Amino acid sequence: MTGANDSSPKKFTKKFKGCEIMPESSIFTVEQLNEYMKNMIEADRSLSDIYVKGEISNFTNHKTGHFYFTVKDEKSVLKAVMFGGASKVGFMPENGMKVVLHGRISLFVRDGQYQIYCDGIEPDGIGALYVAFEQLKAKLEAEGIFDQRRKKPLPKIPNSIGIITSPTGAAIRDMINVITRRFPMAKIVLFPALVQGANAPGQLASGIKFFNAGGAEADLIIIGRGGGSLEELWAFNDENLARVVFSSKIPVISAVGHETDFTICDFAADLRAPTPSAAAELAVPDSGELKRQLSNAFKKMELLAAGKISGYRERVKNYENANVLKNPMNIIDDKRMGILQIEKNLAAQLKIILGEKRSQFVMRSSKLEALNPLSVLARGYSVAYSGEKIVGRLADVEIGSAITVKVSDGRIEANVNAVHATAK
């Protein structure tokens, strides 16, 4: 029996609606229960290293870089979180994507809800690298990085070729062998770079920048490596490298892996070659073929020149047989006779023209003479003036006024004594 002042938990049971109530010392708070359940879950080793597959929904890429989402199947859902997911996953999860999660199961005490804390996410059925490749390809294609209209043409005969690859791989040996065999006049400049690993994309991009900055002369750039797995070729799927390749002012050939391998760098370059050896063949012409073309062109020029010379010789021969060279005086005499005939023709034409002009002059002179008022006076007519005005009517004079009468050989001064109108 406890005392009245005992503060320890009371050790008794009660009946509540027919149920026995636990002693108060055994009653949990909500927080205590959630903590207890969390400890139980985390103590289970099978839940601390677990894989769960399902479909993503309610995906949130928080500004902090954390992923919050739910995975579900046909019957159930499970909350999931991945802290720092943006820096851990090579692709961006999306709603509806089927994935396999790896992590541990734990309970969030505040909400009383268990969830999976992820440290890895893989697409279910296809690799994460493949998903990342397709996502980056779609992004850059939408920006026009792969647009064929923006591809630069390759130089027909490059004097210098810049190669960005591993200095110890088989790819560089193959390219050097092909270039020196096909076009030994070309200068080869190697920019050594890693072709796989975390540091490879930066070194490959530095090579493109090196040649564009004039670090070494290059009319054309080849970037690439030999074959390998998707993981080994992954450095050539870097977004920054693709943008550097695209912005290169010097044409770029991408030659990564084998013929069946495709990388983002291939799409961004001005030309994709199936292999490094094929890139070398595309980069330079075949010197033997060039020699044959030059030889054919030289032969055509010889034939054309021979034809021209033959034609000129024939013309010279014709000139030698021409009369103008055999007896030039004959030509001069012929020209003289022609000039004399022209003089005769001109004289005859001039005579005819002068005769016609003379007849026209005489006819027009006769007309003018007939209209001459002096000729009218010579035929016995006269003209009377009152001052400076010709007297044409009786109203032009008055009785007693002075008039002047002009005749063919002089004039008569008179006064008007009378006027008589003509009877009508």
* pLDDT score at 234: 92
Per-residue pLDDT, 12: 42
What is the band of 5 on the pLDDT scale with cuts at 50, 70, 90? very low
Residue 317 lies in a domain: no
Average pLDDT over residues 139-150: 94
Is 80 a residue whose pLDDT tops 60?
yes
pLDDT surpasses 90 at 153: yes
Domain co-membership, 167 together with 208: yes
The reply to whether 102 falls in a domain is yes
What is the model's pLDDT at position 277?
95
Output the CA–CA distances (angstroms, integers) from residue 78 to 71, 74, 116, in the order listed.
Answer: 5, 12, 7
Quickly state the pLDDT bin for 1 (edges 50, 70, 90). Answer: very low
Give yes or no for residue 4 having a pLDDT over 80: no
Average pLDDT over residues 252-280: 94
Instruction: Say which residue the tokens 């330079």 belong to.
Output: 284
CA distance 181 to 281: 10
User: Which of 285, 313, 330 is the C-terminal boundary of a domain?
Assistant: 285
41 shares its domain with 68: yes
- Sign of the CA dihedral running 266, 267, 271, 272: positive
Which one is predicted more confidently, 414 or 214?
214
d(CA 291, CA 8): 109
**Is there a domain that residue 121 lies in?**
yes
State the first-to-last Cα distance of the chain, in angstroms, to the nearest integer: 187
User: Is 130 a domain residue?
Assistant: no
Most confident of 347-351, 385-389, 419-423: 347-351
* Three-state DSSP state, 138: helix
Number of domains in the chain: 4
- 169 exposure class (CB count in 10 Å sphere: 0-12, 13-18, 19+): middle
Q: Which of 285, 310, 330 is the last residue of a domain?
A: 285
pLDDT score, position 337: 87
Residue 288 pLDDT > 50 = yes
Which structural domain, as residue segments, surrounds residue 118?
A: 23-125
Q: Are residues 173 and 197 in the same domain?
A: yes
257 lies in some domain = yes
Say yes or no: 342 and 391 in one domain. no
Strands 383-386 and 389-390, sheet pairing = antiparallel
DSSP states along 323-388:
HHHH-HHHHHHHHHHHHHHHHHHHHHHHHHHHHHHHHHHHHHHHHHHHH-HHHHHHTT--EEEETT
We report the CATH number of the domain holding residue 79 as: 2.40.50.140
What integer pLDDT is reported at residue 140 of this predicted model? 95
Domain-located, residue 63: yes
Burial profile 43-57: b = 16 or more Cβ within 10 angstroms, e = fewer: eeeebeeeebebbbe
How far is residue 351's CA from residue 163's CA, in Å, rounded to a whole number?
94
pLDDT tens string 191-238: 999 999 999 999 999 999 999 999 999 999 999 999 888 888 999 999
Are 161 and 250 found together in one domain? Answer: yes
Say yes or no: 194 and 253 in one domain.
yes
Q: Does residue 391 contact residue 398 with C-beta atoms inside 8 Å?
A: no
- pLDDT at residue number 378: 63
Beta strands in 75-177 (DSSP E): 77-82, 98-108, 113-123, 160-165
Are 171 and 250 in a shared domain?
Answer: yes
Whether 207 and 239 map to the same domain: the answer is: yes
Boundary of a domain, candidates 285, 313, 342:
285
**CATH number, domain with residue 184:** 3.40.50.261
Same structural domain, 116 and 225: no
Does 184 fall in a domain?
yes
pLDDT at residue 8 in the model: 41
Instruction: Tell me: do 119 and 175 sit in the same domain.
Output: no
Structure tokens at 102: 């790896």
* 3-class DSSP state of 108: strand
Q: Is residue 165 part of a domain?
A: yes
Q: Is the pTM of this model over 0.75?
A: no
pLDDT in tens, 21-74: 556 667 889 998 989 898 988 888 889 888 898 888 899 999 888 999 999 888
Average pLDDT, the chain: 86
389-400 confidence digits (pLDDT tens)? 887 787 778 888
Judge if 405 and 327 occupy the same domain. no
344 and 272 in a common domain: no
